């Protein structure tokens, strides 16, 4: 039986751990040649070796997504190493959960934009011409439900809303090159970005109809679907993967509160 990403060449950013690691492992197991890109060199090298020890194909390459020259070096490397590029997952990102705009410095604001949004822009810009030469491509930008709702993490939220617009503009522009561009917007996912945020995780679990935090392995299959030929007619979409948070979370709490007392009047 043919693997779902057989013969695909994929570059994944922020792939040394967390959600990016789950994507890299899954992509490789489904037949893709994977370039793991990150600034966490030791973790990235170890992951590539681990994937190869399982009989799959993976390499590691240092990439600071906020640096356009780093991007060009990574694209040149994957083109020479594997002969092209079919899939780009713009997964790298950082959070900044400060409760007030007044508490965010200009330096903090710029750093979040440089990594989360400008890094995604650089990825699309450098990858698209190589994908065109490869015959087709799929770009998946990892956003967040913070980009679909109001959210208190202002800088982070601004970048995730920006990713939605960037995704749609790129999908429009590169359709003629047979390149699809989509965005995946996870809800609460248990990764390093949430370390030390127990109260936030508890509150998000309470608001999420499925009542829990997702694992990275629950997001990666959605990303893989968009990378695969199964999604060959899918472009320009926002795929929300959030346990029902944005779609039904608020009314779920209204319902539970309204039904909390005997004889409640709905």
Residue-wise pLDDT tens digits, 147-204: 999 888 999 999 999 999 999 999 999 999 999 999 999 999 998 877 777 888 898 9
- Is 90 exceeded by the pLDDT of residue 113? yes
Q: What is the pLDDT at residue 259?
A: 75
Q: DSSP secondary-structure letter at 189?
A: B
Query: Is residue 93, in this structure, part of any structural domain at all?
Result: yes
Task: List phi, psi (to 5°) of 82.
Answer: -115, -10
Query: Is residue 215, in this structure, part of any structural domain at all?
Result: yes
Q: What is the pLDDT at residue 266?
A: 60
Compute the distance between CA of residue 137 and CA of residue 232 in angstroms, rounded to an integer.
10
Q: Which of 71, 156, 161, 245 is catalytic?
A: 156
Question: Packing angle between helix 154-174 and helix 119-134, nearest 10 degrees?
Answer: 20
Tokens of 61: 């390459």
Query: Is residue 98, in this structure, part of any structural domain at all?
Result: yes
Q: What is the pLDDT at residue 265?
A: 66
User: pLDDT (tens digit, 9 = 90+) per residue, 18-34?
Assistant: 999 999 999 999 999 99
**Average pLDDT score over residue span 225-234:** 98
Query: Is residue 84, in this structure, part of any structural domain at all?
Result: yes
Check if 156 is active-site.
yes
Query: Is residue 177, in this structure, part of any structural domain at all?
Result: yes
Compute the mean pLDDT over every residue in the chain, rounded to the nearest whole number: 94
Q: What is the pLDDT at residue 256?
A: 83
Query: Is residue 149, in this structure, part of any structural domain at all?
Result: yes
Give the contacts of 86 (CB within 8 A, at least 6 positions apart).
8, 9, 10, 131, 134, 136, 137, 138
CATH code of the domain containing 218: 3.40.50.720
Q: What is the pLDDT at residue 196?
A: 76
Query: Is residue 263, in this structure, part of any structural domain at all?
Result: no
Compute the distance between CA of residue 171 and CA of residue 91 in angstroms, rounded to an integer.
17
Count structural domains, the chain: 1
Q: Which domain holds residue 32?
A: 9-258
Query: Is residue 2, in this structure, part of any structural domain at all?
Result: no
């Amino acid at each position: 039986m043919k693997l779902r990403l057989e013969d695909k060449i994929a570059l994944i950013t922020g792939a040394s751990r967390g959600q990016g690691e789950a994507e890299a492992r899954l992509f490789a197991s489904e037949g893709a040649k994977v370039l793991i890109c990150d600034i966490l060199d030791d973790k990235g090298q170890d992951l590539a070796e681990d994937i190869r020890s399982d009989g799959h194909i993976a390499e590691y390459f240092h990439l600071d997504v906020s640096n356009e020259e780093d991007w060009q070096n990574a694209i040149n490397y994957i083109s020479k190493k594997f002969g092209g590029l079919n899939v780009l997952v713009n997964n790298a990102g950082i959070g900044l959960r400060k409760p007030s705009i007044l508490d965010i410095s200009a330096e903090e604001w710029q750093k979040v934009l440089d990594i989360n949004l400008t890094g995604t822009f650089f990825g699309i810009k450098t990858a698209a011409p190589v994908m065109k030469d490869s015959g087709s491509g799929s770009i998946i930008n990892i956003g967040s439900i913070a980009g679909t709702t109001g959210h208190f993490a202002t800088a982070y939220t601004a970048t995730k809303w920006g990713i939605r617009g960037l995704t749609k503009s790129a999908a429009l522009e590169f359709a003629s090159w047979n390149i699809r561009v989509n965005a995946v917007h996870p809800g609460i996912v248990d990764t390093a970005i949430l370390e030390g945020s127990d109260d936030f995780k508890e509150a998000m679990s309470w608001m999420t109809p499925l009542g829990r935090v997702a694992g990275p392995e629950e997001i990666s299959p959605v990303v893989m679907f968009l990378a695969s030929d199964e999604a060959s007619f899918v472009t320009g979409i926002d795929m929300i993967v959030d346990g029902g948070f944005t779609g039904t979370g608020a009314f779920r709490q209204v319902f539970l509160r309204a039904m909390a007392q005997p004889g409640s009047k709905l």
